[in-house]
Amino acid sequence: MDVLPSRKIVLLGKTGAGKSSLANTILGEKLFTIDHSPISGTSECQTKIKSVNGRSIALIDTPGLFDTGRSEDDMKPEIVRCLTECAPGPHAFLIVFKVEKFTEHEEAVITKICQYFSEDALKYAVIVFTHGDQLPEGMKIEEFVSQLKDLSDLVKKCGGRCHVVDNKYWKINEGDNYRSNQFHVAEILNTLDKMTEANKESCYTNQMLQEVNREIQREEECIRESSGNMSQEEIRKQAKQSAFERLLIRSAGIATGALLGALLGVAEMVAFAVPGLVTTERGRGTVALAAQSGLVKGALTGYTAAEGAESSLEAIQKVAEAVWNKCSVSESQSNK
Ligand SMILES: Nc1nc2c(ncn2[C@@H]2O[C@H](COP(=O)(O)OP(=O)(O)OP(=O)(O)O)[C@@H](O)[C@H]2O)c(=O)[nH]1
Ligand SMILES: [Mg+2]
- Structural domain boundaries of the chain? 7-198, 207-334
* Element containing residue 313 per DSSP (H, E): helix 312-334
The pLDDT value given to residue 144: 97
**216 CA to centre of ligand 2 in angstroms:** 25
Report d(CA 34, CA 42) in Å as an integer.
7
Distance 85 CA to ligand 1 centre (A): 22
pLDDT over 90 at 336, yes or no:
no
Q: Which ligand is nearest to the CA of 133?
A: 1
Q: How far apart are CA 160 and CA 277, in angstroms?
A: 41
Is residue 24 within 8 Å of residue 167, measured between CB atoms? Answer: yes
Q: What share of the chain is helix, strand, coil (3-state, %, to 5)?
A: 55, 10, 35
Assess whether the C-beta atom of 184 lies below 6 angstroms from ligand 1: no
| Structure confidence at residue 126 (pLDDT) | 98
Ligand 1 nearest-atom number relative to CA 96: 19
Give the C-alpha separation, 265 to 184, whole Å: 42
Any atom of ligand 1 within 6 Å of the Cβ of 191 = no
- Whole-Å CA distances, 315 to 263, 300, 304: 14, 11, 9
- The atom number, within ligand 1, closest to the CA of 36 reads 27
The predicted-structure confidence for 172-206, as pLDDT tens digits, reads as follows: 665 558 899 999 999 999 999 999 999 999 999 98
Q: Are 77 and 26 in contact (CB under 8 A)?
A: no
pLDDT of residue 147: 95
Ligand 1 contact via 24 beta carbon (within 6 Å): no
Has residue 115 got a pLDDT over 90? no
Angle between helices 281-293 and 312-334 (to 10 degrees): 90
Please indicate whether residue 109, judged by its CB atom, sits closer than 6 Å to ligand 1. no
Determine whether the shortest distance from the Cβ of 20 to ligand 1 is under 6 A. yes
Ligand nearest to the CA of 41: 1
What is the spatial distance between Cα 164 and Cα 133, in angstroms, rounded to a whole number?
A: 10
pLDDT averaged over every residue in the chain: 79
Output the residue whose Cα is nearest ligand 1's atom 9.
Answer: 18
pLDDT digits (tens, 9 = 90+) for 314-334: 555 555 566 556 555 555 665
pLDDT at residue 173 in the model: 61
pLDDT tier at 39 (50, 70, 90 boundaries)?
Answer: low
Residue 155 has pLDDT above 80, yes or no: yes
Does residue 53 carry a pLDDT above 60? yes
CATH code that applies to domain 7-198: 3.40.50.300
Give the closest ligand to the alpha carbon of residue 30.
1
The CB-based long-range contact list for 154-157 (8 Å cut-off, 24+ gap) reads: 154/102, 154/110, 154/127, 155/127, 157/122
Residue nearest to atom 5 of ligand 1 (CA): 167
**How far does residue 2's CA lie from ligand 1's centre (Å)?**
34
- Half-sphere exposure at residue 42, Cβ-oriented, CA atoms within 13 angstroms: 31
41 CB under 6 A from ligand 1?
Answer: yes
pLDDT digits over 243-287, tens only?
998 888 766 655 554 554 445 444 445 454 545 544 555 555 554
Res 281: pLDDT: 56
Q: DSSP assignment of 115-158, as one string?
A: HHS-GGGGGGEEEEEE-GGGS-TT--HHHHHHT-HHHHHHHHHT
pLDDT tops 80 at residue 2: no
Residue ID of nearest Cα to ligand 1 atom 21:
16
Three-state SS for 5? coil
Give the torsion sign (CA, 215, 221, 226, 232): positive
Task: Among 167, 170, 180, 181, name the best residue to mutate to test ligand 1's pocket (greatest count of ligand atoms within 8 A of Cβ).
Answer: 167
The residue whose CB lies within 8 Å of the most ligand 1 atoms, and thus the one to mutate among 33, 165, 168, 169, is: 168
